[in-house]
Structure 1
């Protein structure tokens, strides 16, 4: 099967068939290709022959080399055997000589030992005699460590032979010299140029000289505190520098020195080899640790106070990104100190400092938002007071809608910009940003509740503040604008801002625990503020129209009025003002629902005129008995629907205009009830009410309300007239159409 499946045309294969390959080549290839193939095969054959010759030569050389190596090994092994025999002979000779020497020196060995001990003692005594001079020399050469070692080495001998007169002088001289050495070592604590390594060496030498550890701890920490105080003073002088440079200077200067002091202190006083008296060791450790703890806490507290002061100064309009970078470096360094300060978690204190900085930043941004909103309102008020907004026909709808859009968008975008600025505090690569306590306190309490929710409450409070009667300078159009703004926030902006805040700062749903202010609560506040503003707008506009009507009634002598020939100008002004209000409200609110009514104004006018004519006819018939007529009219009012003059209005144009017209006509009615009219005065009221009826019905939700109030006004004028005679309806219509 292998022969069958093998390729006979593969020249490099095991089943190659030269005849078949040649026949195929002659059959398929041209002459030139056959010649090229032949040349290639010849070259390959020659190359193979050359390679095989090289292999043969190399193998032959290796064979010759192996033969020489074997021959040489045979001669070397023979020489090695001879040398081993000679070595064995020498070892036997050495053993024999050693036994002879040991036997010969056996008697004098004890004497040699005694002489060696005496020689050692003499050398030691000779060292004691030279010790004072040697100690002075080493102190002069500042070889303090070697001097201490020499003194400790000789101290045991001095105590052993101290009762001998010859050694007492030596001991006294050595103690004086050692006291001088101790003073020089203590002077290192007062030197500003002394490094931490030199201080550590000095303390170590003093401890070797049996100096009390408690006093050494106090001296060491006192000197270290002096140097750290200089670092803190330097930081206080850097209050005006860049905050990143300030933090780096504190880390590389004060914190590095403090860590070095603590590490040296632990090595010198806490982690030293324990003495045999365990109780004494525990007492020393407790004293040393207590002094170190007070030292560290005192200096770190001052450092934290300086950092707090610098951070507060940076937050007065500084860059939040730079501030967060500095706080991250500050917290990272405190986090790195955690291993060295195992008893006190300064990283937690650093987190509290960062949290306070974030809280101050939120409060600063809250004040910024409040100031921005106040500036925006000021610009809106200026725009409303500008002449360009008050055209000849009172059409300022485009301006009001544009102001509303700019007010809402500017406020929302400002809040988003503030949130974007604070988002750097919640970056995942920050060391303090990973702590759950920080994220919950900053993101939930400071950003969402204190900043966003607090600003939304400020919006409602500011808007409601314009409803205060003390702020009488606020234009009514501003009240209308703020009402619509609160309604816009209630509809979409509150949900949008809270959603953006929760998404950007990864705030989970904590409504069940009561940690988050409900969105429904904020929306309800916004809607209540919008309702209050709109009601106040209606009352202000109604008061404005009412004042014109009241003055027009109170300043006229109705008993000496001439026969009416035209509509009074104040009535035209009332209609114009109502139309202007209609334009303002229509720019911001929808039309609203109206009751079904006839669209034929001429029919409506005719029906009212007929009603008044019928009323006049009835009045003429009941003129001899005014008391009975008044009683009938009052009885009819008992069965009519009561009109709420100052009721809340709906968020629609017709509801707002209805409220304004109700207040105006009610004021007109009360003023008419307080005056006394002549015949022509009554007829003038008839003309005025008919003129108002012609134009006011289109602004209200129910025209029957206008008809009822106008009938009340005309009826009150009839009751207050000394000669109640009404004009013909056709004459009234002509006067009103001409007016």
Structure 2
């Protein structure tokens, strides 16, 4: 019974039914009516069905159970067939493994027998030759050591004999062969003597080889051989290159001189120095490369030495060329410089064909690129200096007596036009000169690594964009300049503001289009977009115009502040005339209106509120007052509460807000600042009756003239109402003057 249960459990584990799952399933199937449980009782189950089910349900249940029985029978047959096939396959595999292992066991036995025979035979040989082997090894070592010692003891004599016979290559070969051994045993006294004697002969050999550099009859092959031998003797390559350079190249061809034409300098270097270098390369190839065709390793070493040697020479030559090219930085014409650089670049390309492992044309192009960048930098500095000179000329013209008061012409517009034309002409001239670097007959101009960087980074970005940014930076400095560095003329701020606005509207687009066409820039180039430059120019123009408004507003405000603070308003006499400062204010604002009108359009004005005063502004003379419907009546004093309520719902006036690019907007900003200063000064004083009436006369006079300068006359009305109202509140005896009397005084004044 236990054996049967154990087999059943093993089968259940094989088919995935663990003991825990069986226990849980047994607990769940303890019901005797559960047909799938271990405690199923057929009689109880059948009695339950007969009691609970009808005849039709019993027949359906029977059909279902028959179907399940057939399905289980089919599954059992399939399982038996599958297991039978697996058992047959396992039996075949075991039978085959037995055969394979039997054959392998026979082979291993045969191998073990062979190995035992070999081991026995090897042991016999070792025992026979053991004594003789030790003697042979010892004698061979002694013989080798004696040969080395004999060579070392004879080394000084051999070196001396080779030097006397001028067999320098053999002497160097002897020494380099034994140098490592001498260094290894230098602590032994006998070897110290040998090394000292050898060092004396090697020093003499170095002097003999170096004397070849000063021999005018030495050919390039002999010089190349001497360089190679000295390099094997651990001579510094830099010193050898310098000595070889002094012998192979004429000093006159390598010395940059301010008195030597750049074209002559390049021709001398190409025909002298570079020709000699080519001869040296050819000789070196014959001596060290062409004779070692069968040994690739030696060829590689020799070629590496040659490349290193030539690279050092060319680096020195490039340094001289760069220094000479720098002397051309301040010259005005590019034609000779470009021709010289083109010849220099062409000759370097020929050297690349002679020595394929080098790329001197790339280094030459870098020198050409640096020369081009220096030219661009020089032109940028010249443009900046020209811009500074133009600003100085404008300041001198503005400082001339009665320059801005000329009745004929538009002086500010003429200055602006002259500045624009001068800057454009200079830029066109510079771009025309720089086109010499990309001419079609110039070899380096066709190289993409030169042309792309030169046209995009140097010309467009480094010159045009940098100069436009410099203009903006200088203009911003005028806005941020401290007062201790001197006042900036307001008219200059106005001109520069219009200049930046013209840059934003047309000049920047024109210059960028011009440089793109002349230097053939494609759309894929990464450059500063025009929108960024125009936005910066417009922002600068706005800042300059805002600064102009503040400066001019401050000038008018200073006059009004002093006129209020220096007068005794309690003990003044009855007003008989308009104060002179008010006339000065109107005159100055009129002059500002003329200045701004020369550079900016009129702008949009709001329609006048009174039909009696609607007239063309061009028909009103600046010196003639205009009647308006504005007056500050005494009833305003009694109606102060209603006035304050109206102020709550009126639009707030921004005194220091930005202005638009129009004449009325600029003058409105100046007048707002001036009248706001006048209002704040009035609020700090105490007035008598006649002082208050004088303020009433002055404000009426200002109204007669200032309304025509602003975009909305209601703004002037509001600020003047505030001034008069504040005066009434600060007055000890607030009795206003009749409107007709005020008008009569203002007209007579």
**669 and 220 in structure 1: CA distance in 2 versus 1, 3 angstrom threshold:** closer
Partner of 1:193: 216
**SS state at 1:725 partner:** coil
Distance 1:220 1:470 in 2: 60
**224 and 454 in structure 1: CA distance in 2 versus 1, 3 angstrom threshold:** closer
Distance 2:492 2:206 in 1: 84
Q: Which residue among 576, 580, 596 is the counterpart of 2:591?
A: 580
**SS state at 1:339 partner:** helix
Partner of 2:647: 637
Q: Which residue among 340, 344, 350 is the counterpart of 1:336?
A: 350
Q: Which residue among 423, 426, 440 is the counterpart of 2:438?
A: 426
**SS state at 2:661 partner:** coil
Partner of 2:197: none
Partner of 1:264: 283
Contact 2:212 2:218 (C-alpha < 8 Å) held by counterparts? no
Deviation at 1:428, TM superposition (A): 1.6
Contact 1:396 1:584 (C-alpha < 8 Å) held by counterparts? no
Deviation at 1:290, TM superposition (A): 2.3
**442 and 403 in structure 1: CA distance in 2 versus 1, 3 angstrom threshold:** same
Contact 2:237 2:309 (C-alpha < 8 Å) held by counterparts? no
Q: What are the Cα deviations for residues 686-738 of structure 1, in whole angstroms up to 9, with x where unaligned?
A: 00000000000111111111111111111110111000001111111110001
Partner of 1:526: 537
Q: What are the Cα deviations for residues 565-601 of structure 1, in whole angstroms up to 9, with x where unaligned?
A: 0000000000000000000000000111111114744
Contact 1:494 1:523 (C-alpha < 8 Å) held by counterparts? yes
Q: Quick check: 461-470 or 643-652, which moved more? A: 461-470
Deviation at 1:282, TM superposition (A): 3.2
Aligned-residue CA RMSD (Å) = 2.9
Q: Which residue among 247, 257, 263 is the counterpart of 1:244?
A: 263
**220 and 526 in structure 1: CA distance in 2 versus 1, 3 angstrom threshold:** closer
Distance 1:635 1:333 in 2: 90
Residue 504 (1) aligns with residue 518 (2): yes
Contact 2:213 2:243 (C-alpha < 8 Å) held by counterparts? no
Residue 724 (1) aligns with residue 734 (2): yes
Partner of 1:451: 463
**SS state at 1:524 partner:** helix
Deviation at 1:270, TM superposition (A): 0.5
Deviation at 1:314, TM superposition (A): 1.4
1:461-500 matches, cutoff 5 A: 461-470=473-482, 472-500=486-514
Which ranges of 4 or more aligned residues in structure 1 deviate by more than 6 Å?
182-188, 211-214, 216-224
Distance 2:708 2:542 in 1: 24
Deviation at 1:223, TM superposition (A): 7.4
Note the residue ranges of structure 2 that are not aligned, 5 or more in a row. 1-165, 167-204, 616-625
Partner of 1:103: none
Deviation at 1:630, TM superposition (A): 4.8
**722 and 395 in structure 1: CA distance in 2 versus 1, 3 angstrom threshold:** farther
Distance 2:444 2:329 in 1: 18
Distance 2:531 2:611 in 1: 42
Distance 2:279 2:735 in 1: 110
**599 and 402 in structure 1: CA distance in 2 versus 1, 3 angstrom threshold:** farther
Residue 565 (1) aligns with residue 576 (2): yes
Q: Which residue among 673, 686, 689 is the counterpart of 1:676?
A: 686
Partner of 2:697: 687
Partner of 2:366: 352
TM-score by length of 1: 0.68
Distance 2:275 2:262 in 1: 18
Q: What are the Cα deviations for residues 98-145 of structure 1, in whole angstroms up to 9, with x where unaligned?
A: xxxxxxxxxxxxxxxxxxxxxxxxxxxxxxxxxxxxxxxxxxxxxx9x
Distance 2:343 2:611 in 1: 76
**685 and 396 in structure 1: CA distance in 2 versus 1, 3 angstrom threshold:** farther
Contact 1:676 1:720 (C-alpha < 8 Å) held by counterparts? yes
Partner of 1:311: 325
Contact 1:397 1:584 (C-alpha < 8 Å) held by counterparts? no
Deviation at 1:328, TM superposition (A): 0.7
Contact 1:213 1:269 (C-alpha < 8 Å) held by counterparts? no
Distance 1:223 1:345 in 2: 23
Partner of 1:662: 672
**474 and 219 in structure 1: CA distance in 2 versus 1, 3 angstrom threshold:** closer
Name the count of aligned residue pairs: 532
Q: What are the Cα deviations for residues 588-616 of structure 1, in whole angstroms up to 9, with x where unaligned?
A: 0011111111474499845212xx22xx0
Distance 2:723 2:292 in 1: 110
Contact 1:196 1:264 (C-alpha < 8 Å) held by counterparts? no
**635 and 420 in structure 1: CA distance in 2 versus 1, 3 angstrom threshold:** same
Q: What are the Cα deviations for residues 302-350 of structure 1, in whole angstroms up to 9, with x where unaligned?
A: 1111111111121133532221111111111111111112111000111
**232 and 496 in structure 1: CA distance in 2 versus 1, 3 angstrom threshold:** farther
Distance 1:266 1:221 in 2: 21
Deviation at 1:364, TM superposition (A): 1.3
Partner of 1:442: 454
Residue 387 (1) aligns with residue 401 (2): yes
Contact 1:217 1:269 (C-alpha < 8 Å) held by counterparts? no
**357 and 183 in structure 1: CA distance in 2 versus 1, 3 angstrom threshold:** closer
**224 and 562 in structure 1: CA distance in 2 versus 1, 3 angstrom threshold:** closer
Partner of 1:607: 629
1:391-402 matches, cutoff 5 A: 391=405, 395=407, 398-402=410-414
1:691-710 matches, cutoff 5 A: 691-710=701-720
Partner of 2:555: 544
TM-score by length of 2: 0.67
**631 and 334 in structure 1: CA distance in 2 versus 1, 3 angstrom threshold:** same
Contact 2:292 2:298 (C-alpha < 8 Å) held by counterparts? no
Deviation at 1:226, TM superposition (A): 2.5
Deviation at 1:268, TM superposition (A): 1.4
